[in-house]
Structure 1
Amino acid sequence: MRQRHKPWADDFLKENTHLIIPNPEQKKGKWQELFGNDNPIHLEIGTGKGQFMAGMAEQHPNVNFIGIELAKSIIVMAGSKMKDAGRDNVVLLHVDAADLQELFAENEISVIYLNFSDPWPKKRHAKRRLTFHTFLEQYQHILQPEGEIVLKTDNQGLFEYSLVSFSQFGLKLEDVTIDLHSIEDSENIMTEYEEKFSAKGQPIYRCRAQFD
């Protein structure tokens, strides 16, 4: 979906460098220093408008959160939401997540969230899926031993593909559900897309995959 240009976006980025971190590759291996504590770091790839990150940061004050979003018009909306929330345990990165090893050191991240990622349904685009094996290799590098990936999606095809991809890579699958909202989970923070799709009666798929 094409995003509307936000004329205030550049000014927001310049005025909120404490929240949307410029030159994040310079923080590689030093993210806990930026947060000023040794709390675990959780990473969301594709923050959308920031509802998930804001909710998680509030729900888990002893966890540091980093959200990555490439679209400028989207990340400034997420940034505005974080600014209003006033949390000091969340920052955003306006970068492409294609090479995470440029941004994070080995074992620097505890959990990776993949929420409603682009399914890239055509077979020739499989390598762009965030659960393709080349991405899993990066996740394994930046995640701590026994770190985990949490996947949520409304797309059955992507979910099934991801389960196979995880298994073939040797990850241990846990908490696999094909209808997340049919179970009691008071800790589930919904994204904007999740609210939209679930309101239409679409099932939400979720799983956790852990590196041994």
Structure 2
Amino acid sequence: MRLRKKWWARPEMEASHLTIVNPQEHSGKWNEEFENKNKIYLELGCGRGKFICTNAENNKDINYIGIDLKDEVLIYDVRRAEELELENVRIVPMNIGNIEEIFDTDEISRIYINFCNPWPKERHKKRRLTHPGFLNMYKKFLVPGSEIWFKTDDTGLFTDSQEYFPESGFNIEYLTYDLHNSDFQGNITTEYEEKFTSLGMKTMFLIARYEQI
């Protein structure tokens, strides 16, 4: 469904110190932005913010950066973080395809990819956030030994991703085709996940670790 343009969203977002509109200037200096040396976890496609804000509220000793493109969605993320008074969250409105411009070597300790666009057509598969083109990009700023946590409801994307990760130098440490009925503990649901789980959707999930050779 196409989002209706909210012209007020960008000015409100930019008025918040939690929104980073010039992320390229922070490359290699994100710990200065957070004013600490805590680990930084990154969510690609953070949507309305339930996932990232719940994690940040539960883990005050970890910094979180959420990236998404649409102001119409991100404004709710910013509002949620402000309401919870979360100083360990920053929101970045940008195209994820430019992500290597805003982080430096060994700057990110975990990546979350939750229910990204599956891009099922063959000619579009390079746009997948788990495609080797993106995975090799992430490796430029991931700390060796870091993990990518990936959730999807698309079987084709999940199956292909099981090839993408090893091909790109990641070891798959955990995998399930039914997360909510698995032995995995500590899952934080997204808004999308809650909605479609209630309709019988199964969430597929894996953890892939980056081991630098």
User: If the TM-score is normalised by the length of the shorter chain, which range does it land in?
Assistant: over 0.9
For 1:173, give the aligned amino acid: I
For 2:135, give the aligned amino acid: L
Normalised TM-score (structure 2): 0.96
Say which SS state the counterpart of residue 113 (structure 1) adopts.
Answer: strand
Q: Which residue of 1 aligns with 2:200?
A: 201
Return the alpha-carbon distance in structure 2 between the equivalents of residues 177 and 58 of structure 1: 26
Q: Which residue of 1 aligns with 2:108?
A: 109
Q: Which residue of 1 aligns with 2:189?
A: 190
Q: Which residue of 2 aligns with 1:7?
A: 7
Q: Which residue of 1 aligns with 2:40?
A: 41
1:1-212 to 2 correspondences below 5 Å = 1-16=1-16, 18-212=17-211
Say which SS state the counterpart of residue 148 (structure 2) adopts.
Answer: strand
Return the alpha-carbon distance in structure 2 between the equivalents of residues 150 and 188 of structure 1: 10
**How far is 1:103 from its partner?**
0.3
**How far is 1:14 from its partner?**
2.7
Once the two structures are superposed, what CA deviation does each residue of 1:39-60 show, in whole Å capped at 9, x if it has no partner?
0000001001111011100111
Say which SS state the counterpart of residue 145 (structure 1) adopts.
Answer: strand
Say which SS state the counterpart of residue 100 (structure 2) adopts.
Answer: helix
**How far is 1:186 from its partner?**
4.6
Work out whether residues 154 and 197 of structure 1, in 8 Å CA contact, stay in contact via their aligned partners in 2.
no
Once the two structures are superposed, what CA deviation does each residue of 1:26-82 show, in whole Å capped at 9, x if it has no partner?
011000111011100000010011110111001111100000010111111111111
CA RMSD of aligned residues (A): 1.1
How many pairs align?
211
For 2:4, give the aligned amino acid: R
Return the alpha-carbon distance in structure 1 between the equivalents of residues 26 and 168 of structure 2: 29
Unaligned runs of 5+ in 2: none
Moved more, 143-152 or 168-177: 168-177
Return the alpha-carbon distance in structure 1 between the equivalents of residues 100 and 121 of structure 2: 27
Return the alpha-carbon distance in structure 1 between the equivalents of residues 89 and 24 of structure 2: 17
For 1:157, give the aligned amino acid: G
**How far is 1:138 from its partner?**
0.8
For 1:5, give the aligned amino acid: K
For 1:19, give the aligned amino acid: L
Of all paired residues, the percent bearing the same amino acid is 41
Unaligned runs of 5+ in 1: none
Moved more, 202-211 or 179-188: 179-188
Return the alpha-carbon distance in structure 1 between the equivalents of residues 135 and 10 of structure 2: 33
**How far is 1:11 from its partner?**
2.2
For 2:7, give the aligned amino acid: P
Work out whether residues 5 and 73 of structure 1, in 8 Å CA contact, stay in contact via their aligned partners in 2.
yes
**How far is 1:184 from its partner?**
4.8
Return the alpha-carbon distance in structure 1 between the equivalents of residues 80 and 209 of structure 2: 30
